[in-house]
Amino acid sequence: MAFLTLEKLTKKFGPHLAVDGLSLDVEKGEFIALLGPSGCGKTTTLQMIAGFVDPTAGAIRLEGRDLLAIKPAKRGLGIVFQSYALFPHMTVAENVAFGLEMQGVAAVERTKRVAETLELVGLAAFSSRFPRQMSGGQQQRVALARALVIRPNILLLDEPLSNLDAKLREEMQIELRQIQRTVGTTTILVTHDQAEAMALSDRIVVMNQGRAEQIGPPHEAYERPATPFVANFLGKTNLVNGTTVRPEKISFGTSGLAGKVRTRIFQGNHWLYQVDTDSGLVTVIRQNTGEAMPAEGAMVHLVWGATP
């Protein structure tokens, strides 16, 4: 039996179907990403698990128990909100201790666990600061510590990294992954960022218009997308003569599909090409190996796996 089960979960807002019969089994300790464009129902799904939104139909079970029958305050879930939703009038330590206080954990034990958790997220030195005095990345860690300290059944992450700049986001991805591995908490991440979903999760649920288009490991979803939507949403794709080809799988050769380089963009570790061919515009990504590459206007031949 799965640890967490979503069974034909459905939510209607008026005539609009926000979540349409979503079924999902999550194993204990698994890291699941709900990935999709805005309005695909991923956040609504998260809020139904958290208990802030009541489903129109369907069931949520945690270790076989009906989660919907339990009040949000009693579900014991750790949530990191997009805005972090830290309590601005409390210090970092008070923020983190709040959940333990609500559980009635004794003061001595509370202090110990707060210190441990702040250590885990690398904020041991900041316990007496107020949230306003910290950077976005630090606030994000406080939010994570506040969610983890109560030893939640499930950790829910609602676009947790979207307010950070690109470099910090990458660092936090690595750290988040390490922390999740360390504590082993079953985690559900909601994101619209495919790179984030692929970097962090064991399995991705690609959602579109309230439905799961594909559920599977990131690598599988990327290499064998179940639908054109998944193929397009997970990275760039070319549709050449009815087959989909990833841009990084195409290389320049001496024979193959002929074309002319329309644009060439240098992106540091790789080159991004757009090539005009008889089959339409093809995007090509080539690793920057230091070798000379075809310039704009050059005539090239495109080669990929299936081409003879």
Positions touching other proteins (CB under 8 A) are 50, 52, 72-79, 81-83, 85-89, 98-99, 102-103, 130, 132-133, 146, 150
Q: Which residue lies nearer to other proteins by CB, 192 or 286?
A: 192
CA distance 99 to 87: 12
CA distance 287 to 74: 51
Q: Which residue lies nearer to other proteins by CB, 110 or 286?
A: 110
Closest by Cα among 76, 260, 61 to 154: 76
Q: Compute the least distance from the CB of residue 242 to other proteins, in Å.
A: 46
What are the structure tokens assigned to 276, written together? 């005009």
- The answer to whether the Cα torsion of 231, 234, 239, 243 is positive or negative is negative
Q: Compute the least distance from the CB of residue 52 to other proteins, in Å.
A: 5
Q: Which residue lies nearer to other proteins by CB, 113 or 146?
A: 146
> Is residue 2 within 8 Å of 27, Cβ to Cβ?
yes
Q: Which residue lies nearer to other proteins by CB, 90 or 272?
A: 90
Q: Compute the least distance from the CB of residue 50 to other proteins, in Å.
A: 6
The kind and range of the H/E element at 251 are strand 251-253
Q: Compute the least distance from the CB of residue 15 to other proteins, in Å.
A: 18
Q: Compute the least distance from the CB of residue 74 to other proteins, in Å.
A: 7
Q: Which residue lies nearer to other proteins by CB, 82 or 111?
A: 82
> Is residue 255 within 8 Å of 261, Cβ to Cβ?
no
What are the structure tokens assigned to 1, written together? 């039996």
**Whole-Å CA distances, 279 to 114, 257, 265, 302:** 60, 9, 21, 11
Q: Compute the least distance from the CB of residue 154 to other proteins, in Å.
A: 11
> Is residue 256 within 8 Å of 307, Cβ to Cβ?
yes
CA distance 251 to 244: 15
Q: Which residue lies nearer to other proteins by CB, 159 or 196?
A: 159
